[in-house]
Chains A and B, each alone.
Chain A
Amino acid sequence: MMFHEEFECMPRPALEALQLKRLQATVARVHGNVPFYRESLAKAGIKPADINSLEDLQRIPFTTKQDMRDSYPYGLFAAPMEEIVRIHASSGTTGKPTVVGYTQKDISTWTELMARSFVAAGVHKGDIIHNAYGYGLFTGGLGAHYGAERLGASVIPISGGNTKRQIVIMKDFGSTVLTCTPSYSLYMAEAAREEGVDFRDLKLRVGIFGAEPWSETMRGEIEAKLNLAALDIYGLSEIMGPGVAIECIEAKHGLHIWEDHFIAEIIDPDTGKVLPEGEKGELVITTITKEGIPLLRYRTRDITSITREPCKCGRTHARIARMSGRSDDMLIIRGVNVFPSQIESILMRIEGVEPHYLLIVDRDGNLDTLEVQVEVDERIFSDEVKVLQALSKQIEKEIKDLLGVTCTVRLVEPKTIARSEGKAKRVNDKRKM
């Protein structure tokens, strides 16, 4: 089943011709409306008229998350504010989020692509979609929600949290599709077991999981425990939100990236050179139909590879491999983006805490865990246990309040955290993907 068969199965020459036409329009749009792009294109010696082939895209400079932060909040918008009908934001390193704006047409495109993604995952009208992605500034909840309605499915806007209630609702409402982060799905499985609910008695058929990296092993585990087909979905708010790419139910092998709206490149994260098909590198995406905040060659920092080999589902759109990591230091912990520098700035605000810390990320059962090791020096040390425990609690609370992620603080002796020349090792990610 396909939602936009004409586009999804478009022969590649026609698809690439469409991409070029749309790329040219996008370059012209940002050149005209966004001072940042006018300058960066001028610096690179490119005029919109110079884009005559898809290869010409490689001459265009990258856009980075830092560029978005520098343009906070609306600097990269290519449409006047009165045309922006929705604003989303994702967490940023210094407390400032990355802000994106959607025009009516952008919302409509996103809705269509999300519906298209649902269909690729085997979801159809008549399905009851239990949408446990968070609703709010995060794009997950609303993105999936609109797509589900567009499809004509019944959507339960449950959002995240209150797992016991989620299980009751899934059972009583007869949910057939589950959308959430992969780790949360396994958490649900555990909670269900404790409640004496057997997933085999539920009607769930498909799970669409994204917003954090996961593995084939985890897929096996989810499918066994939740008794459904588990599919990987990819998206990021900067580009659109969920529905940029998804696995098809037919192949479950690589995520089709919707190339009539996005151009994907894989680059060497160190040199910026475009890598040949099949090689692993950083995913770079250019949006070619967005109005609110079109981005040229946005560096996603996600590591993957791309293939244009035909897929057995019949779609001609390229497939990207499951994300295998990130090229920067950003951590995704239970679906929340966490930068070590955010934790550092929280620690620095607490009197006496040294900026010597180590983040240990692990997976306990199915949930990501974060341990923050903090060195105890004389300024925070006390001969009373309760004072030190209160300090740990305070750090845990501030991290929870500001970053939305639960952690445990472990106080360690001074100089036990390795000091290295140059870039300090701040993160020990023990998760096995």
Chain B
Amino acid sequence: MKVEQISIFIENKSGRLAEVTGILGEAGVNIRALSLADTSDFGILRLIVNDCEKAKQVLKERGFTVNKTEVVAVEVPDQPGGLSRILQVLDREKINVEYMYAFVERCGENAVIIFRFDETDKAIKALQDSSFNVLPGERLYSM
């Protein structure tokens, strides 16, 4: 029930983001979701792609620092209060969210939230116990 995410270290200089997406495009890798965390000096680009291994390989070949991490994708009804209910569960279970980002499914009713937890397994269990739909990786990769 975990989703593989790659993260890429990017210095804050113009053109770097374009370079990453360019490399992925050339390799035929499709980006499903992304978020960019930035500081004054550097950024961390986090991507969910259709082919994690390939993305990692082509970026590494071009000299980027790439890591793979496991995140959790949760489906939430695309309506007011959807995210709030998820966060209430996590708060009750004292599960820490390191970061999160969201996107809306292409032809569905629902939004998908990507979470990075400090305790991934515990979080998945808590969310499932509260009847939230935790999406398997394959579902996202092939979306």
Contact yes or no, B10 A413, CB < 8 A: yes
Q: Which stretch in A117-125, A336-344, A378-386 binds the other chain?
A: A378-386
Within 8 A of B (CB), among A388-413: 388-389, 410-413
Contact A414:B99 (CB < 8 A) given known A383-B69, A383-B116, A385-B44:
no
Which B residues touch A389, using CB under 8 A?
Answer: 39
Which A residues touch B116, using CB under 8 A?
Answer: 383-384
Q: Which stretch in B24-32, B59-67, B132-140 binds the other chain?
A: B59-67
Contact yes or no, B67 A415, CB < 8 A: no
7 A-B pairs within 8 Å (CB atoms) are namely: A378-B65, A381-B65, A384-B116, A385-B37, A412-B11, A413-B9, A413-B11
Within 8 A of A (CB), among B59-88: 63-67, 69
Which B residues touch A376, using CB under 8 A?
Answer: 9, 42, 65
Min CB distance, B105 to chain A, in Å? 23
Contact yes or no, A414 B46, CB < 8 A: no
Contacting A383 at CB < 8 Å: which of B16, B63, B64, B67?
Answer: B67
Contact yes or no, A377 B65, CB < 8 A: yes
The residue of chain B having its C-beta at the shortest distance from the C-beta of A408 within the complex is: B41
The residue of chain A having its C-beta at the shortest distance from the C-beta of B7 within the complex is: A383
The residue of chain B having its C-beta at the shortest distance from the C-beta of A392 within the complex is: B41
Contact yes or no, A381 B9, CB < 8 A: yes
Bound Cα distance from A383 to B47, whole angstroms: 10
Number of B residues with CB within 8 Å of any CB on chain A:
21
- If A378-B67, A385-B37 are given as contacts, then 7 extra A-B residue pairs at C-beta distance below 8 Å, sorted by A number, are A378-B65, A383-B5, A383-B7, A383-B46, A384-B44, A384-B99, A411-B42
Which A residues touch B5, using CB under 8 A?
Answer: 383
A428 CB-CB contact with B under 8 Å: no
Contact A414:B65 (CB < 8 A) given known A376-B9, A385-B39, A385-B44:
yes
Contact yes or no, A416 B99, CB < 8 A: no
Bound Cα distance from A384 to B43, whole angstroms: 10
Min CB distance, B7 to chain A, in Å? 4
B129 CB-CB contact with A under 8 Å: no
The residue of chain A having its C-beta at the shortest distance from the C-beta of B65 within the complex is: A381
Within 8 A of A (CB), among B1-59: 5, 7, 9-11, 16, 37, 39, 41-42, 44, 46
Min CB distance, B19 to chain A, in Å? 11
What residues make up the interface of A, taking CB atoms closer than 8 Å to B? 376-378, 381-385, 388-389, 410-416
Contact yes or no, A384 B42, CB < 8 A: no
Contact yes or no, B63 A410, CB < 8 A: no
Bound Cα distance from A302 to B76, whole angstroms: 69
Which A residues touch B46, using CB under 8 A?
Answer: 383
Contact yes or no, A388 B11, CB < 8 A: no
Contact A382:B37 (CB < 8 A) given known A388-B42, A413-B11:
no
Bound Cα distance from A429 to B134, whole angstroms: 54
Bound Cα distance from A413 to B9, whole angstroms: 7
Bound Cα distance from A413 to B7, whole angstroms: 13
Most B Cβ at <10 Å: residue of A383, A388, A389: A383
Min CB distance, A55 to chain B, in Å? 57
Min CB distance, A139 to chain B, in Å? 38
Which B residues touch A411, using CB under 8 A?
Answer: 9, 11, 41-42
Bound Cα distance from A382 to B99, whole angstroms: 13
Which B residues touch A415, using CB under 8 A?
Answer: 63
The residue of chain A having its C-beta at the shortest distance from the C-beta of B68 within the complex is: A383
Which B residues touch A382, using CB under 8 A?
Answer: 7, 44, 67
Contacting B44 at CB < 8 Å: which of A377, A383, A412, A414?
Answer: A383
The residue of chain A having its C-beta at the shortest distance from the C-beta of B118 within the complex is: A384
Bound Cα distance from A416 to B13, whole angstroms: 12
Contact yes or no, B41 A413, CB < 8 A: no
Contact A413:B64 (CB < 8 A) given known A383-B7, A385-B37, A389-B39:
yes
Most B Cβ at <10 Å: residue of A382, A384, A388: A384
The residue of chain A having its C-beta at the shortest distance from the C-beta of B40 within the complex is: A410
Min CB distance, A353 to chain B, in Å? 13
The residue of chain A having its C-beta at the shortest distance from the C-beta of B38 within the complex is: A385
Bound Cα distance from A416 to B42, whole angstroms: 13
Min CB distance, A382 to chain B, in Å? 7
Which B residues touch A414, using CB under 8 A?
Answer: 63-65
The residue of chain B having its C-beta at the shortest distance from the C-beta of A389 within the complex is: B39
Bound Cα distance from A389 to B41, whole angstroms: 10
Bound Cα distance from A382 to B118, whole angstroms: 13
Which B residues touch A385, using CB under 8 A?
Answer: 37, 39, 44
Contact yes or no, A378 B66, CB < 8 A: yes
Min CB distance, A343 to chain B, in Å? 18
Bound Cα distance from A388 to B8, whole angstroms: 13
